[in-house]
Structure formats: C-alpha cells, structure tokens
C-alpha cells in the first residue's frame, strides 16, 4: 500500500468563551486547526488533525503545520502508511524537529493502518481497555469563586476531574488552591496547572504552603532544570506537561525522578507513534499519565482518548475534551464524546472519524504523486 495523495485543510475553531491561561497572562479566542486527508492506492483514506493551543502557548504555529507538510510531502508520498516507523523516520529526516507538524500525518497513517487491519488504533497500540477515560475540564484562571463557578458548570456535564489554572500572585494562588480543595467533592480530582508561570522561588513557596493537601501541581516552572531544582525543595507531586516534548525528556524525567506524572499532549510530542513510547517509559517507572489533545476538535480528542485507553486504569489519570469548549463541530455525531464525564473509544477500525468536508471547505493544499 502506498500514499498517493495528501489534502490539507485549514479550519478556525472559535472558543465559546475567551480563555486565560495560568496567571491570566495569555488570552485565547480561536484555535488554528489543520486537517489532513491521506489517500492510498488501496482506496483507504485516513484523517489526521493538528491544532496547537494558539500560537503563544508552546513553540507550535498553526500555519507552520501546513508549511511543514508542504516541505515533507515528497518524503511522505509513496510511503506505506501501515509502516508507521518508516513514515516517522522519513518525516524526521526531511524536517528535523517541528513535531507538531508531523502529528496529523502520523494520526492519518494510524487511521489507515487500523482500517487495513480491521482493528481500532488502540488495539494496534497494544490493546484497548474496555473502560473509558475520565475527562478533566480546563478551568480558566481568575478569582476563586469565578473558578469554582466554572467547576460547577462542568459538574453539571458529568465531569469529575478538573485541570485548574493557577500561577499568578503567590498569596492568591495559595488562597485559590485552599478554597477549591475545600469545595472539592470526595470523588473529584483536581490538577493544579501552572503552565510554567511561577519562578522557582514562587513555586517553592506555594507548593510547600499547600503540601498538607496532597494535591498535584502541573508544570510549575519553565524548564526541566527548574523542575529538577524544585523537586529537591518540595514534596508536592509534580506533573510535567510543556517540558515533556521528546522521548529523551521522558527518560530523563523518569530516571532522575523529576516528576510523578506525565502530561502527554499528542500534537506537541509528534503524534501517537512517539507518544506510545513515552507511555511505555512511564509505565516502566511507576509514573501516572494524563493524555490530552493540545487543542482541537473531536478528532484530536479521540486521538488522545485512544492512547489513554491503552493505559492500565491505575496509571491513567485522565484526558480532555477540548471539543466541549468550541463553537464548531467538524464531525457531528462521530468520535469520542463526553458521556457522564468520560471519553470512550470503541472497537471501530481506525479512529472512525470522517470530518464533514462541507464544513472544512476546499483544501488549501493538495500534494500528490
Ligand atoms: Mg497542562
């Protein structure tokens, strides 16, 4: 089987409400999404998506995905999409780095491989657990009662897990965390996500001040060196998100004991092929895992839910449904949807999603042999 055609679509995905990242320092209103349709000489078609969380969250640029695919197209065309490691190597040789541009191609190839084998991608990735994954809400930063209001609205949608954005003023963060922990229900899980907003000093003050609460803090500072230093002066469990980009990052975190949780974001790490190796490193080191889309439609959420559902329950902390924050649905009725706070993938071959091409409009680029 060979890849004969790559069609690239650009779609803006507006957020229902403006969103402020930790510390209120970055505002987001629309996501720049790229959808990729890969066709083969066997008549099987696969779909992928690449949607960074805006242009300012991490080094990933929406239009860069389209440009990256244009650069890599000649190396991708003619590949057998079922040979994921070959496709991965062809892309890595053609364009070093730029993992976020490779993720949508990787997902489309997994979709084709699944359809060709008559298996779900989760089964190809080692085996699908029957049980779905708890969705963590994403709670925008603000005053404690404003944030609790958001949590309450997600509770009404069945959510039992929340990723709460903190990371501004130290005193206010301690107040926010204590306030929300007091209101947390016994069966709820809250991850306090700093999105790199604290200095080492600020992180040390807050994490030690709330050490009695047994909370987990995500990405407290900018770099892995910061987190390594912080690990020496705090006991509060740490999740690494933005600093987990490559497999080398994963092995360093695991070997050096820098964190107790991996936050794997599919678009950032380059897709399922690379993310599955991080999963295995985590499992081998007793590290629990969140698997999330970086942002995007039901397709990106389903990609994350697929990998999540290959992780044993005791290691699987949750996923995210960015789709619940958008005003556009590119594949109504398809893919993993919130049901009582969980995303669940079925045993449909591939990922089972065919975006509505009327919604996507004409492709912005077509590459073919
Ligand atoms: Mg995070």
Q: 193 CA distance to ligand 1 centroid (A)?
A: 5
Closest to 21 in 3D by CA, of 204, 234, 194, 235 = 194
Does residue 54 carry a pLDDT above 90? no
**Is 349 inside a domain boundary?**
no
- Let me know how many helices (H) and strands (E) the chain has, helices first: 13, 13
User: Is this structure's pTM higher than 0.75?
Assistant: yes
144 and 63 in a single domain? The answer is: no
Q: Which residues are catalytic?
A: 165, 265
pLDDT at 17: 87
**Which stretch of DSSP H or E encloses residue 105?**
helix 99-117
181 and 274 in a single domain? The answer is: yes
Q: 334 CA distance to ligand 1 centroid (A)?
A: 26
> For the chain, what is the mean pLDDT?
96
Q: What is the pLDDT of residues 317-352, one digit of tens each?
A: 999 999 999 999 999 999 999 999 999 999 999 999
Q: β-strand 3-20 against 365-368: which pairing, if any?
A: antiparallel
**Is 338 inside a domain boundary?**
yes
List of E strands, 140-179? 161-165
Phi, psi for 204 (deg, rounded to 5): -65, -40
Query: CB of 38 within 8 A of CB of 6?
Result: yes
**Is 84 inside a domain boundary?**
yes
pLDDT at 70: 98
**Is 328 inside a domain boundary?**
yes
- Quick one: tokens of 188? 């709820």
Helices 298-308 and 272-284, packing angle to 10 deg? 30
101 and 150 in a single domain? The answer is: no
Q: How far apart are the two ends of the chain, measured CA to CA in Å?
A: 14
Residue 57: domain span:
3-118+357-368
Q: pLDDT band at 168, cuts 50/70/90?
A: confident
Does residue 146 carry a pLDDT above 90? yes
**Beta bridge pairs of residue 190:** 162
pLDDT at 229: 98
pLDDT at 22: 67
pLDDT at 56: 84
Residue 73 DSSP code: H
51 and 157 in a single domain? The answer is: no
Phi, psi for 10 (deg, rounded to 5): -110, 130
Question: Which residues contact residue 113 at a Cβ distance below 8 angstroms, ignoring those fewer than 6 apart?
Answer: 81, 82, 84, 121, 124, 350
Q: What is the pLDDT of residues 189-199, one digit of tens each?
A: 999 999 999 99
**Is 348 inside a domain boundary?**
no
Query: CB of 360 within 8 A of CB of 328?
Result: no
Percent of the chain with pLDDT over 70: 99
Q: What is the DSSP string of 197-243?
A: -S-HHHHHHHHHHTGGGT-EEE--SSSHHHHHHHHHH--S-EEE-TT
**Is 352 inside a domain boundary?**
no
Distance CA 29, CA 162 (A): 20
Q: pLDDT band at 23, cuts 50/70/90?
A: low
Q: What is the pLDDT of residues 204-240, one digit of tens each?
A: 999 999 999 999 999 999 999 999 999 999 999 999 9
104 and 208 in a single domain? The answer is: no
Classify 132 as helix, strand or coil: coil
Overall average pLDDT of the 105-112 stretch: 99
- Quick one: tokens of 184? 């947390």
Q: 260 CA distance to ligand 1 centroid (A)?
A: 14
199 and 332 in a single domain? The answer is: yes
Q: pLDDT band at 257, cuts 50/70/90?
A: very high
pLDDT at 18: 83
Distance CA 40, CA 287 (A): 38
109 and 159 in a single domain? The answer is: no
pLDDT at 10: 98
Does residue 20 carry a pLDDT above 80? no
Q: 21 CA distance to ligand 1 centroid (A)?
A: 10
Closest to 310 in 3D by CA, of 334, 336, 283 = 283
**Which stretch of DSSP H or E encloses residue 172?**
helix 170-183
Distance CA 55, CA 50 (A): 13
Domain total in the chain: 2
Question: Which residues contact residue 364 at a Cβ distance below 8 angstroms, ignoring those fewer than 6 apart?
Answer: 8, 9, 10, 66
Q: Can you tell me which residue has the tokens 């029957």?
A: 130
Q: 289 CA distance to ligand 1 centroid (A)?
A: 12
235 and 295 in a single domain? The answer is: yes
230 and 106 in a single domain? The answer is: no
**Is 176 inside a domain boundary?**
yes
Q: What is the CATH number of the domain that holds 256?
A: 3.20.20.120
pLDDT at 24: 65
Q: What is the CATH number of the domain that holds 86?
A: 3.30.390.10
Q: 103 CA distance to ligand 1 centroid (A)?
A: 19
65 and 145 in a single domain? The answer is: no
**Is 213 inside a domain boundary?**
yes
155 and 264 in a single domain? The answer is: yes
Q: What is the pLDDT of residues 282-303, one digit of tens each?
A: 999 999 999 999 999 999 999 9
215 and 315 in a single domain? The answer is: yes
**Which stretch of DSSP H or E encloses residue 134?**
strand 133-139
């Amino acid at each position: 089987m060979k890849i004969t055609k790559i069609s690239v679509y650009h779609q803006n995905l507006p957020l229902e409400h403006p969103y402020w990242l930790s510390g209120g320092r970055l505002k987001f209103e629309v996501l720049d999404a790229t959808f990729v349709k890969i066709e083969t000489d066997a008549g099987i078609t696969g779909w992928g998506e690449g949607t960074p969380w805006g242009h300012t969250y991490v080094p990933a640029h929406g239009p860069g995905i389209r440009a990256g695919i244009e650069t890599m197209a000649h190396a991708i065309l003619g590949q057998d999409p079922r040979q994921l490691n070959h496709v991965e190597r062809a892309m890595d040789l053609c364009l070093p780095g730029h993992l976020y541009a490779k993720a949508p191609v990787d997902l489309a190839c997994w979709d084709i491989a699944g359809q060709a084998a008559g298996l779900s991608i989760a089964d190809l990735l080692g085996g699908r657990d029957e049980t779905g994954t708890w969705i963590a809400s994403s709670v925008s930063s603000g005053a404690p009662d404003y944030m609790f209001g958001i949590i309450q609205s997600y509770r009404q949608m069945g959510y039992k897990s929340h990723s709460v954005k903190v990371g501004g003023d130290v005193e206010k963060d301690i107040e926010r965390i204590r306030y929300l922990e007091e209101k947390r229900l016994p069966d709820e899980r809250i991850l306090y996500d700093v999105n790199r907003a604290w200095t080492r000093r600020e992180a040390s003050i807050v994490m030690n001040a709330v050490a009695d609460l047994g909370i987990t803090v995500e990405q407290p500072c900018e770099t892995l060196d910061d987190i390594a230093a912080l690990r020496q002066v705090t006991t509060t469990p740490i999740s690494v998100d933005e600093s987990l980009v490559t497999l080398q990052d994963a092995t360093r975190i695991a070997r050096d004991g820098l964190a107790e949780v991996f936050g794997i974001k599919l678009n950032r790490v380059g897709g399922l092929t690379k993310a599955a190796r991080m999963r295995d490193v985590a499992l081998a080191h007793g590290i629990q895992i969140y698997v999330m889309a970086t942002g995007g439609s039901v397709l990106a959420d389903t990609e994350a839910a697929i990998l999540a559902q290959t992780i044993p329950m005791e290691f699987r902390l949750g996923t995210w449904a960015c789709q619940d924050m958008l005003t556009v649905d590119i594949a109504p009725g398809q893919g993993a949807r919130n049901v009582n706070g969980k995303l669940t993938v079925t045993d449909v071959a591939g990922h089972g999603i065919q975006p509505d091409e009327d919604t996507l409009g004409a492709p912005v680029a077509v590459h073919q042999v």
